[in-house]
Structure 1
């Protein structure tokens, strides 16, 4: 059995061919797709965060709005770039959105991906300390976030406050109990997956990771997941961690599917460089008739290791078509693989 959700980058473009021609379209349709996915029986609605791009960027208003419109579906991110975040302000926003959603947030965070602008986090007022890299900064911001989400008091109260204070040191409000256990780290390497396990975060592994062995993507990703679980066990955490993987999966069940995605091109892993001297592997997509798709997905070791599968969706094709993409997997593929 697997949790199955969708992951949207929330692209928008003024092009006549786009179903999302403005930021407002992308946001409102994201909410509508979360509602539709819940009605279809999907388990999660997740959104990517990119700054300085025509994509979703400010997740908490979106998550709060989707939380108010839905009842059961998990609402999450994959991922928020912690280089851009004030962890205390983020904890307040996340706490509020989680309370509105009734405790359904699943927040994926990370060091982030290559950016639209050079050192974009500096425009937000953040810079690595002396001797730090931007990745170090993201991890230190994350450690602060995890600490304040525990809900312990840490701030000295004013002896003459505007409003009465509870006794002792003060914590951030609103506090949402249990949210600290629903933080996920998007790991691009085995080492950061192990680091996340030690801190008690769940693991998100996307369609890209740094190439650490030259093996096929799904095998490297499965090895990363196993290293993460071993580190989790060694750390002595008492709860069971969650692990998600993302995939582009399209079941060709009608003529529209075949027109959009039935190109007949071979789908293979791609190796390349996303940063100087850092070779990465991009995982293949899966596009086929349901019977063939079932066979292909059964051989994906990382999907087998994960408890959660996020389907990347082409959001610019509109809510109705994306709901169809999700429904096709839930109806024609998932039951045969034992996911449903």
Structure 2
């Protein structure tokens, strides 16, 4: 059994060919798709965060709105770039969104991905400490956030406050109990997956990974997941680990599917560079008739290792079409593979 959700990058463009032409379209359609996915029986609605781009950026208003419109589906990010974040302000926003959703927030964090601008986090007022890389700064911000989400007091109260204080040191409010155990880390290497396991964060592994061994993408990703689970077991955490992988998967059922994805050019792994020195492997897309799709997906070792599958959706094709894509996987593919 697997949890199956969708992952949207929330693109928009003023092009006449786009069904999502403005930022308002992207936000409102994201809410509508989450509602539709819940009605279809999907388990999660996840959103990517990018800055300085025509994509979703500030996640908490969106997550809170979806939380108020739904009742069951998990709501999350995959991922928030922690180099840009103030952990204290983020803890307040996350606590509020989780309370609105009734404890359904699954917050995916990371050090980020290639950006639209050079060192964009500097514009947000953040700078690595001496001898610290920007990646290390992102992990430092994350560790601060994790401590804050425990809900322990740390701030000295004013002896003459405007309102009465509870006894002792004060914590940030609102605090949402249990959110600390629903934090995920987006990792592209085995080393950062092990680091996440030691800190008790769940693992998100996407369709891009540092090419560490030269093996096919799904095998490298499966090995990363196994290393993560072993590190989690060694750490002895009280709660159970979760692992998600994301995939572009399209069942070719009708003429729309064949028009959009019948000639998919990403049917094999791709090799590239995410910066001047980091060689990366990009996982393939899946687009085929249901019978062939079932066979191909059964051979994906990383999907087999994960407990959660996030379907990357082409959000600019509109809510109705994306709901169709999700429904096809839930009804025609997942049962045949034993996922549902």
TM-score, normalized by length of structure 1? 0.99
Structure 1 residues without counterparts, runs of 5 or longer: none
Task: Measure, in 1, the Cα distance between the counterparts of 2:38 and 2:278.
Answer: 39
Task: Measure, in 2, the Cα distance between the counterparts of 1:212 and 1:266.
Answer: 21
SS at match of 1:196: helix
TM-score, normalized by length of structure 2? 0.99
Task: Measure, in 1, the Cα distance between the counterparts of 2:11 and 2:212.
Answer: 30
SS at match of 2:310: strand
Structure 2 residues without counterparts, runs of 5 or longer: none
Q: C-alpha offsets along residues 6-56 of structure 1, whole Å, 9 cap, x if unaligned?
A: 000000000010001000000000000000000000000000000000000
CA RMSD of aligned residues (A): 0.6
* Partner residue, 1:10: 10
Please tell me whether residue 330 in structure 1 is matched to residue 339 in structure 2: no
Larger mean CA deviation between 102-111 and 259-268 belongs to 259-268
Alignment of 1:18-97 (within 5 A): 18-97=18-97
Task: Measure, in 2, the Cα distance between the counterparts of 1:256 and 1:232.
Answer: 43
Q: Which runs of 4+ in 1 moved over 4 A?
A: none
Count of residues in Structure 1 that have an aligned counterpart in Structure 2: 340
Contact 2:193 2:228 in 1 (8 A): yes
Distance 1:169 1:22, change over 3 A: same
Task: Measure, in 2, the Cα distance between the counterparts of 1:277 and 1:169.
Answer: 46
* Partner residue, 2:130: 130
Distance 1:286 1:157, change over 3 A: same
CA drift at 1:239: 1.4
Task: Measure, in 1, the Cα distance between the counterparts of 2:121 and 2:156.
Answer: 30
* Partner residue, 2:140: 140
Task: Measure, in 2, the Cα distance between the counterparts of 1:81 and 1:265.
Answer: 29
Distance 1:266 1:154, change over 3 A: closer
Larger mean CA deviation between 231-240 and 145-154 belongs to 231-240
Q: C-alpha offsets along residues 167-205 of structure 1, whole Å, 9 cap, x if unaligned?
A: 000000000000000000000100000000000000000
SS at match of 1:275: coil
